[in-house]
Amino acid sequence: KQEVTQIPAALSVPEGENLVLNCSFTDSAIYNLQWFRQDPGKGLTSLLLIQSSQREQTSGRLNASLDKSSGRSTLYIAASQPGDSATYLCAVGWAGSYQLTFGKGTKLSVIP
Amino acid sequence: DVKVTQSSRYLVKRTGEKVFLECVQDMDHENMFWYRQDPGLGLRLIYFSYDVKMKEKGDIPEGYSVSREKKERFSLILESASTNQTSMYLCASSIRDRGNTIYFGEGSWLTVV
């Protein structure tokens, strides 16, 4: 079964700190991987999309990497701000399927 | 700016009622999806559609049906609502190519009493 795991489930950091969120997946037949942000009670907002042929993607203070061989992706957030507080989810698209498999997310709290 | 609109943000329905959740996207996307999100279980796919009048079951289709009569609109139907269908429902869309970003609506909170 294709599974996506995000550890830790929750993370609290002081403002200004650089941090890394982790996502691991069990199947190397990955098509792409997306990172999303979800604010409480809201829908998901796409942050970064990495194709299976890519190693990383960057947007502003965010950098996502992909290592298919080890089944891992990381989301790096530089100089964290209180406004970054949210739940971050990764989702894997698999070869031969329209479906995405979501991790359960990491709830990030950035303390002023 | 991309837009996926879910018509109802908060609904309270009685057990046994028929419930319609509507979703409209304005991006001419071929693919549309319905997920539900529950604490501890994450997002689970209910149904998706890759074209008008086409639908495929996701991981948890039991108790649900869908309708896609027009490209921009994808409806989720609960034929006879039950309390275990109390959840957050999320609609999403994407273009046909699987390598592209998926866009989500704001979600519909459904409570079945």
Distance CA A100, CA A108 (A): 22
Nearest chain B residue to A37, by CA: B104
Query: In chain B, what residues touch A50 (CB-CB under 8 Å)?
Result: none
CB atoms B98 and A31 under 8 Å: yes
pLDDT > 90: what percent of chain B?
81
pLDDT band, residue A112 (cuts 50/70/90): very high
Q: Give the burial class of B18: count Cβ atoms within 10 A of its Cβ; 0-12 exposed, 13-18 middle, 19 or more buried.
A: exposed
A45 interaction partners in chain B (CB closer than 8 Å): 104
Q: B19-46 pLDDT, tens per residue?
A: 999 999 999 999 999 999 999 898 999 9
Residue B25 touches partner A, C-beta closer than 8 Å: no
Total residue count of chain A as it appears in this document: 112
Which of A46, A51, A98 has its CB closest to that of B48? A98
pLDDT at B99: 67
For B45, name the nearest residue in chain A, comparing CA atoms only. A99
**Mean per-residue pLDDT, A54-76:** 95
Query: Phi-psi region for residue B63, left (φ > 0), alpha (ψ -120 to 50) or beta?
Result: left
Question: What residues contact residue A109 under an 8 Å CB cut-off, 6+ apart?
Answer: A10, A11, A12, A13, A85
Cα dist. B109→A12, A28, B21, B92, B93 in Å? 27, 35, 10, 15, 19
- Per the omega criterion (within 30 degrees of 0), is the bond before A8 cis? yes
Which pLDDT does position B63 carry in this prediction?
96
How many residue pairs bridge chain A and chain B with CB atoms within 8 Å of each other? Answer: 53
Tell me the mean pLDDT in the region B72-90.
97
Mean pLDDT, chain A, as a whole number? Answer: 93
Instruction: Please judge whether A31 and B43 are an interchain contact, meaning their C-beta atoms are less than 8 angstroms apart.
Output: no
Antiparallel, parallel or unpaired: β B108-112 and B10-13: parallel
Q: What is the pLDDT of residue A82?
A: 97
Task: Give the best residue of B102, B109, B110 to mutate against chain A (max A CB count within 10 A).
Answer: B102
CA dist A38 and B43 (Å) reads 12
More confident residue, B95 or A78: A78
User: A66 vs B40, which has greater pLDDT?
Assistant: A66
Contact map slice: B 42-81 vs A, CB within 8 A: 42-43, 45, 48, 50, 56, 58-59
